Amino acid sequence: MKILDGKVALVTGAAQGIGRAIALRLAREGADIAILDMDNAKMKAVADEVQSLGRKSTTFKADISGRDEVYAAIDHTENALGGFDIMVNNAGIAQVQPIADVTAKEAEQILKVNIEGVLWGIQAAAKKFHDRKQKGKIINAASIAGHDGFPMLGVYSATKFAVRALTQSAAQEYASDGITVNSYSPGIVGTDMWVEIDRRFAEITGAKVGETYKKYVDGIALGRAQTPEDVAAFVAFLAGPDSDYMTGQSPIIDGGIVYR
């Protein structure tokens, strides 16, 4: 028997990168998967991969910064897959910008996606668990930038500190309902997001493309960049029964960059 047999999980930002890896890992552990993102073609590709693993899947196009859209996604998950047990608030965006140059529009965008998106995901998932009279697991995407503030990533870091705060508060508020709330804090992951981060560092600092990424990777104690699958393996632990006595935590999984 697999650890997530009979479970249904919704993963936001699941069309690519870390989200895709999480969706596939949870499927391999036995869960049926709802995929939320903005790109229909990419979502379908991941849904097909889930189905090739022998699990059911469904897709839902939504902007996580819209509260009603997140509630609708969870309703769709329940209706399409016959249950709802695990919420992975993975979707988020990064911005590379000196604090002095951040515009109101840029700040509003990242705050709405990275903070409000997680808030609505926590809120909607907890309500659904309550309505279904069951326990549940809520898992949020933090970052090493939610433990240490990084230069040129000030607002991004602030949003990830906020995710940790929401995780801690929600864990305490929902514990009596049997709902656990935890986060995962990745480091330097080889995804399209880091390609964009590196490109922006090159624009701002004059570094060569690839130089910033290499600098950070060279500082990893385990000697290599993180893969989406590294992150997904830890999320599978948070989604499974071995983490049942864990709540309100945001462990770092970064290969050895930030130490706590």
Helix or strand (DSSP H, E) at 52: helix 40-52
The three-class DSSP label of residue 119 is helix
Whether 156 sits among the annotated catalytic residues: the reply is: yes
User: Token pair 């701002």 is at which residue?
Assistant: 204
Closest to 95 (Cα-Cα) out of 79, 86, 108: 108
From the candidates 71, 156, 174, 213, give the one annotated as an active-site residue: 156
Torsional sign, CA 24, 231, 74, 8:
positive
**What's the order of all strands across the beta sheet hosting 252-253?**
57-61, 32-37, 8-12, 86-89, 136-141, 179-186, 252-253
What is the CA 158 to chain-centroid distance, rounded? 16
Q: Which residues are catalytic?
A: 156
